[in-house]
Structure 1
Amino acid sequence: MSDLLDPGLVIALLLNFYALTTTNLKQMIYAVAMQGALLGMLYPIAHTGFLSHADAEPTSWFSGLRLMALTATIVLVKGFLIPRFLLRAARLADVRSQVTSTVGVMLPLLLGGVATVLALVFAKSLPLAPQHISHLPIPASLATVMCGFLILSSRREAMGQVLGYIVLENGIFIFGLLLIEAVPLLVELGIVLDLFVGVFVMGIIFNHVSRAFPEASVEHLSTLKE
């Protein structure tokens, strides 16, 4: 099963590029949801693969049940609850279906490609554990964080920036796959809940902004002065 980890991370990287280039809000939400659900499904694969190389104790039935429950929770939150909440917020706020970028479409795609290449090169210079050398979590994590930051900083609309935040958190989640042996259950669930609460708060702010400004563009926030 560990052989599926790197192909899954490659698909996650391709979804980064799609999120950087698409101008359709729903398609962007669906791409981010697919990435989150994919990472949730990769969690047990990374857990099984990395622990098998770490001389860990055999997995008990309770640990297996906990792993499946946590996987289902991650997929449910990242792949269903958050995108459903965002789609509902966009519908209630009557947000236009197109999102725009302050620097165009091609430049973010180019910067995302450069960031991915630099992440691959930089990861090779890091001292890694033997079970992590032949896999892509570190370069995929760094590339996803940088792509999320590009989306966050280049989108005009508040909803686009929320999606950039989610992509950035997905990058942090990928890096957390390296720490599966050390991260306890409560911390893992805390990461998912922090993301959900963050998106929930952003959605509330987004609704208030959209009521004041029909386009829900953060450029209008510069007019809010004392």
Structure 2
Amino acid sequence: MIPSVSFSHVRKSWQQVTALQNFTLDIARGELVALVGSSGCGKSTLLRMLIGLEAVSQGEICVNGEPVTGIGKERGIVFQEPRLFPWLNVLDNVMLGLADEKISRAEKRQRAQQMLARVQLTDFADALPSQLSGGMAQRVAIARGLIAQPQILMLDEPFSALDALTRHTLQQELLHIHRSAGTTTLLVTHDVEEAVTLADRVVVLSPRPGKIREVVTLSLSHPRQRDNAHFTAACRQIRTAITSA
């Protein structure tokens, strides 16, 4: 079966700096893969190349067997920063995620309202981004990224600005959407517990230039309990891989 996403010997360099080197990984359709590693190891760069915002220096990235040559509507991304349009209210910012969908504005509005309810922002539909806290703005960005249910969803530290309770709620919502829609998901995170909570596999990258140091496959059933001995052991294995020389 053709992988949903395939990285083949990918290298990314800028002048004298090599961010990634010989990165090779296949991601199956419907799989959730987390990327972890120290800052600067190329995790976010991988997402930017997969979404089509940056070109590879060497190697190839394929989606459904076809090389990535630019942005495609089958791929969606949620960045670490909200990147909302300041002149649009919350509802309209979320509706932008449906810009390429051939449906009526009324249906777009209904779907956006449903997504705002999922991220607990119904009461702020008419608010402008300047009226939101940082965490609320990030929830709007997450809603916008999820609303179109892309085949491949990329998330770059999407929950880092949220409080613990909201983070847990949105982690479970992401997992629900991922599993119900069969979305192939690639998550960048510095939170090892978050990676083990959500992922089918955790890919540990070495410091720059980023290479795959270890791939940890997780067979724990959902919902995963953080006080479970197997959960704790997986976290320990990943932390050891991140910090090893």
Query: Same fold by TM-score, threshold 0.5 exceeded?
Result: no
Which bin holds the TM-score, normalised by the shorter protein? under 0.3
Structure number having the greater strand percentage? 2
Structure number having the greater helix percentage? 1
